Structure 1
């Protein structure tokens, strides 16, 4: 079982001047605790389930680049980038840059986008749902093409790239893993089966059914279900004990999750707890889960 930490809030004691030192410390602690992954949200305004939009929110890839310079082993990604936020060619170039500078530790976390308020607020066009999914599929195709080193022109309904050059290439082989966030059963999980290396689902009662749907999509796509890394996103409403974290990890492993990602709550310091839970979990969860 792999363990990850998501940091969704940058409202730290001491105000904006303490954001850099505090976030940097959290990244180093997660790395030193042996966690597999570190994630930030790719939002421009804070989201409602965490706090009001006026709360501090860092741009995701700048934050990950900062974390990359302070860490050595932990992998780095956004949970997840809305497809409407960046032109796909620039997005793949950005993730590739993170991968090169971090020594091959980048993820491409991506989804169809949902936060219309921040898009309208910053003047980013927010198209209808059907168009966002069309753009998501084209972006996934462009990612595979650019990471293969194929510079031939890409002509889609929404995007045209005359020469999708990507130099330097990513260090991760065959490419930075692609994680698609979301549990939509008709399109999102079908895109996971067709294009992705990992999925991300909420830790909820629906989790087993979502994984069954993904398995069905894999069968239709001719994809080995076991090839896809199943990740979940969990949240502790109050500071957990190591035993509570171990219990949650064990439950998720039983449900078929390979990579449990936990959201850092206000006033919590999860890295140390998760590191200790990881040590205990390795004794009870088979390696490779």
Structure 2
């Protein structure tokens, strides 16, 4: 099993002046601890499960560029990009740039978006749910085409690209891994089966995760996609006050139903001191 972290809370006692220094130290520690990836949320206001909207939040792709320059081996991505916040050509160019400048370490994490409050607050485009899913599928098609190197014009229901040129192309071949976040059974998991290299689920229980993976398996069978080609990931919490053994036992129950990669958040912001135990966890779950 692989372990990663999600940086979702940037409100430290010395914020905002200390944010840059703290993120630098944390991602360097994550790199050295052997974690697989560091993710950031694609939110512009803090979300309710982490704190009030007024708490500090960084824009995802600017933050990932900063993190790329501070690390050497750890992979980098948004968990997950809100499809309606960026047009697909620009998004693919952003992820490709991250991949090239990081030496081939980028993910494309993407989902249908949900935070209408932050979208309205900042005047962002936020169409109805059905349209966001249509746009998500078109974006996935465009991303695959651009990473294949095809400049054939794309004419979709929502997007038209007259020349989807992407130079330089990604270093990761055939493309940066595509992770679709969410666990909607009718649309999201179908898109995973058709287009993605990884799914990202959020539980919260082993039984729910097992049921979602069974649905994904069914979608894979329907499109003749090998189920084992898809990396099964989920989000969970790292608890600094729990022992390594307790947390490994919890992760093991999800591994038994098929989870291969856990992305760890934390109650409150990460601190450098967390990474000694996180390094132990990485070794314990290998």
Q: 3-state DSSP class of the match of 2:17? A: helix
1:210 aligns with 2:212: yes
Aligned positions of 1:186-225 closer than 5 A: 186-205=186-205, 206-225=208-227
For 2:279 and 2:222, the matched residues in 1 are separated by 38
Structure 2 gap segments, 5+ residues each = none
Residue 246 of structure 2: aligned partner: 244
Residue 83 of structure 1: aligned partner: 83
1:266 aligns with 2:271: no
For 2:238 and 2:149, the matched residues in 1 are separated by 42
- Name the Cα RMSD after superposition: 1.2
Paired residues in the alignment total: 282
Q: 3-state DSSP class of the match of 1:234? A: strand
Structure 1 gap segments, 5+ residues each = 283-289
Residue 281 of structure 1: aligned partner: 285
For 2:27 and 2:267, the matched residues in 1 are separated by 15
State the 1:240 CA deviation: 2.7
> What is the TM-score with the length of structure 1 in the denominator?
0.95
Residue 66 of structure 1: aligned partner: 66
Q: Deviations over 1:134-192 (max 9, x none)?
A: 00000000000000000110000000000010011100011000000000000000000
Q: 3-state DSSP class of the match of 2:39? A: strand
Q: Deviations over 1:230-287 (max 9, x none)?
A: 00100246633222221122222112111111103216544332210121222xxxxx
For 1:77 and 1:264, the matched residues in 2 are separated by 18
State the 1:29 CA deviation: 0.6
Distance change in 2, residues 1:119/1:268 (3 Å): closer
Answer whether contact 1:245 1:273 (CA < 8 A) is retained: no
Residue 26 of structure 2: aligned partner: 26
Answer whether contact 1:82 1:110 (CA < 8 A) is retained: yes
Residue 123 of structure 2: aligned partner: 123
State the 1:126 CA deviation: 1.2
For 2:129 and 2:269, the matched residues in 1 are separated by 36
Residue 176 of structure 1: aligned partner: 176
Aligned positions of 1:10-21 closer than 5 A: 10-21=10-21
Distance change in 2, residues 1:156/1:146 (3 Å): same
Residue 4 of structure 2: aligned partner: 4
Q: 3-state DSSP class of the match of 1:199? A: strand
Following TM superposition, the consecutive aligned residue runs of length 4 or more in structure 1 with deviations greater than 4 angstroms are none
* Aligned match for 2:256, one of 250, 254, 257: 254
Answer whether contact 1:4 1:262 (CA < 8 A) is retained: yes
Q: 3-state DSSP class of the match of 2:6? A: strand
For 1:39 and 1:175, the matched residues in 2 are separated by 18
